[in-house]
Structure 1
Amino acid sequence: MRLDSPGLVTDLELLRLQGSTVTDHGDHLVVRTEANPTFWWGNFVLVLGEARSAEVDRWVARFEEEFPDAQHRAVGFAQDGGDTDAWAARGWEVESDVDLATTAVPTAADAPDGIPALSAGSKLRALATDDDWEQSAQVGARDTSEAQREGRLVFERRRVTAQRGLVDSGRARWFGAFDGDRLVARLGIVRLGDLARYQEVVTLESHRRRGLAGALVRAAGEWAFEDPAVGQLVIVAEDGGPAIGLYHRAGFAEVARHVGVSRPPA
């Protein structure tokens, strides 16, 4: 199965590196992450083409056949467009993602006038300690309701374990912005041959609009390009989301689009 999207290509490479299996069925892939069964986009069906209204039942059935015990539902489409309204009409969430890429070190935006990026004594650095990684899991679960928080933390801690494995392998690094000892923003980047893929760009609401995400994106890009094999940086953002402008200003340009539809547990 040939994919033109560098975002999807690197998604699959990253999943394989973290122990997921990817099975090719010709016109679709089945992606399975047994170590983290509640990871929606680690347990899903990826369709080669675009969404078509006549095929909704087919792909729902295909997902349920492969994941009979799953509470969620998730189907990706490698091509943008198609009839996603047919999915939305059945109560599925539809997300269009944009792949952006650059061959240069990203430009870090300055913080707005009068707003300090970090208070005195704070800094950007790589995540290293157990506490750093636990804080990263907590940041990942930041917007979860109290009723769902414990389950979300289980998922985030499993994901952190996989991320630390990538760091330990030498392929990856996760960077954080710390205000004192508190992690307030973080992201990862993974070298995958000639591509390097950003992961999990998050800034706490209390520290947004200070230039932190841009500074982290630049720091991670500098680290990625220390490997002469890396020729391009890839990042994926939600179409219409607030991050798109940041990445454009940093020097990234759109190279592809793809769509995902999902339904949370009932």
Structure 2
Amino acid sequence: MHVESPGLATDLALLELQGSTIRDRGDHLVVRTPENPTFWWGNFLLLARAVPAQDVPAWVERFEREFPGARHQTFGFADSTGDFDGWRERGFDVERDVTLFITKVPTWLPMDEQEVSIRHFAERSDWRQSAELGASDVVIRELEARLVFEQRRAAAQKSLVDEGRGAWFGAFIGGRLVAKVGVVRLGTRARYQDVVTHSGYRRRGIAARLVRVAGEWALTHPAVRELVIVAVEDGPAVRLYERLGFEEAGRHVGVERAIDPAEW
């Protein structure tokens, strides 16, 4: 199955670099991340387009065969058009994402927080804080499982940095990580990853500054001609990226749901 979307294409390329396997079944792709089985969007099926509501149960059964015992079900669709009500009726959340791109360094926007220090991740403690920041928005009962997931993901991201393929940048206040962003070079494209700001430090221009700094780093490589970033449709991040000079390149859809062990 051919994937044209720059957002999805770079998603798949990044997953492969981090140890995921991708199997082409003709009408869909099977993406699997053995080292992180709780990574919903590292263990999913990618379809070219929406399917009729009556076909949803068959695709759910196919997922169960591919990922027996998984506590989630996730499906991506390269085409954002079509009817996804059949998935909603089965308890899936439907999310539409926007891929944006820019061919120059993002626009410089003012940052309100003056005490912020922005730098590369360089210490082991930076990656530990990165995992903790990624889990900072979950409820207590889910914290332990989320931390395991974030620690595994941070280890995979660190390997990309160690190999010289990417860089992670953090915004620190008094040694505490309050925001982060990663960027990975993929041939002529560089893909942003992991844009996260602690809830207590949002709307201060910190994320905008990180996106610019990461873009500057990516574009120092002569092969990189385009920066790619993905955000939730109609979310505040889209408006921020447009202010930074990004333009829309396409849209795609993801559907997901958690599985209650009682359903097994």
Q: For the superposition of Structure 1 and Structure 2, which TM-score range results when normalised by the shorter chain?
A: over 0.9
How far has the Cα of 1:265 moved from its partner?
3.0
1:147 aligned to 2:141?
yes
Aligned to 2:26: 26
Q: Percent identity?
A: 56
How far has the Cα of 1:180 moved from its partner?
1.2
Matches for 1:158-237 after TM superposition, within 5 Å = 158-237=152-231
Partner Cα separation in structure 1 for residue 259 and residue 149 of structure 2: 15
How far has the Cα of 1:146 moved from its partner?
0.8
1:253 aligned to 2:229?
no
Preserved CA contact (<8 Å) 1:108 1:215? yes
Partner Cα separation in structure 1 for residue 199 and residue 141 of structure 2: 21
Partner Cα separation in structure 1 for residue 108 and residue 193 of structure 2: 17
1:16 aligned to 2:16?
yes
Amino acid at match of 2:113: A
Preserved CA contact (<8 Å) 1:93 1:261? yes
Amino acid at match of 1:240: D
How far has the Cα of 1:108 moved from its partner?
2.8
Preserved CA contact (<8 Å) 1:59 1:75? no
1:7 aligned to 2:7?
yes
**Among 106, 113, 117, the residue aligned to 1:117:** 113
1:239 aligned to 2:233?
yes
Preserved CA contact (<8 Å) 1:108 1:217? no
Partner Cα separation in structure 2 for residue 118 and residue 43 of structure 1: 40
Task: Give TM-score scaled by structure 1 length.
Answer: 0.96
Preserved CA contact (<8 Å) 1:40 1:73? yes
Preserved CA contact (<8 Å) 2:22 2:30? yes
Preserved CA contact (<8 Å) 1:190 1:197? yes
Preserved CA contact (<8 Å) 1:84 1:94? yes
Partner Cα separation in structure 2 for residue 118 and residue 185 of structure 1: 14
Partner Cα separation in structure 2 for residue 204 and residue 265 of structure 1: 28
Secondary structure of 2:109's match? coil
Partner Cα separation in structure 1 for residue 161 and residue 193 of structure 2: 12
Partner Cα separation in structure 1 for residue 135 and residue 114 of structure 2: 23
Gaps of 5+ in 1: none
Structure 1, residues 115-150: CA drift from partner, whole Å, max 9, x if none?
x3232xx41001111111100000000111111100
Partner Cα separation in structure 1 for residue 167 and residue 72 of structure 2: 30
Residues 151-160 or 43-52, more deviating: 43-52
Partner Cα separation in structure 2 for residue 130 and residue 52 of structure 1: 48
Preserved CA contact (<8 Å) 2:49 2:81? no
How far has the Cα of 1:54 moved from its partner?
2.8
How far has the Cα of 1:62 moved from its partner?
1.1
How far has the Cα of 1:26 moved from its partner?
0.6
1:64 aligned to 2:64?
yes
Partner Cα separation in structure 1 for residue 68 and residue 52 of structure 2: 23
Aligned to 1:43: 43
Partner Cα separation in structure 2 for residue 265 and residue 138 of structure 1: 25
Aligned structure 1 segments of 4 or more residues deviating by more than 3 angstroms: none
Partner Cα separation in structure 2 for residue 164 and residue 18 of structure 1: 10
Structure 1, residues 190-234: CA drift from partner, whole Å, max 9, x if none?
000000000010111111111111100000000000100000000
Secondary structure of 2:141's match? helix
Partner Cα separation in structure 1 for residue 163 and residue 6 of structure 2: 22
